[in-house]
Amino acid sequence: MFIDDGEDKPHHSSAFDDSTLGFSESPHHHPQKTDGRTRRGVQERQIDVQYTSDCIILPPTLFTCTTLVVFKLRSLVQMEIPGLVRFPNLRVLHVSLQFPFGDMIQKLFCSCPVLEDFSIRGYIDNSQAMAFDISTVALKKLEIDFKDQGFEYSDNEFVINAPILEHLTLRDNYFALYRLKNLSSLFRADIDVGDGVGCIEIYGWKERANQVYELLKGISNVKYLTLGARTMGALDYADDNNLPLLFPNITHLKLRVSNSSSWKRLTYLLSCMPNLENLEVSTKKEFELHDHLNLAAEPNWIEPVPEQTPTCLLLHLKEIGLTGFTSKIYHLNLIKYLLENAKVLIKMAINTRNLAVEEEVEFLRHLVTCRRGALACTIELSRK
Q: What is the pLDDT of residue 285?
A: 64
The whole-model pTM stands at: 0.85
Q: What is the pLDDT of residue 228?
A: 94
How do the pLDDT tens digits run along the chain, 384 residues long? 434 444 433 333 333 343 344 545 444 433 333 334 445 678 999 988 876 656 677 788 889 999 999 999 988 767 777 888 999 999 999 999 877 765 788 889 999 999 999 999 988 776 667 789 999 999 999 999 988 766 566 678 899 999 999 999 999 988 888 999 999 999 999 999 987 555 666 555 677 788 899 999 999 999 999 999 989 988 888 887 776 899 999 999 999 988 666 788 899 999 999 999 999 999 876 544 444 444 444 556 788 888 899 999 999 999 999 999 888 888 899 999 999 999 999 999 999 888 888 888 889 989 989 999 999 999 999 988
Q: What is the pLDDT of residue 211?
A: 87
Q: What is the pLDDT of residue 271?
A: 95
Q: Report the greatest alpha carbon distance in the chain.
A: 76
The domain limits of the chain are 43-186, 239-383
Q: Count CB atoms within 10 A of the CB of residue 295.
A: 12
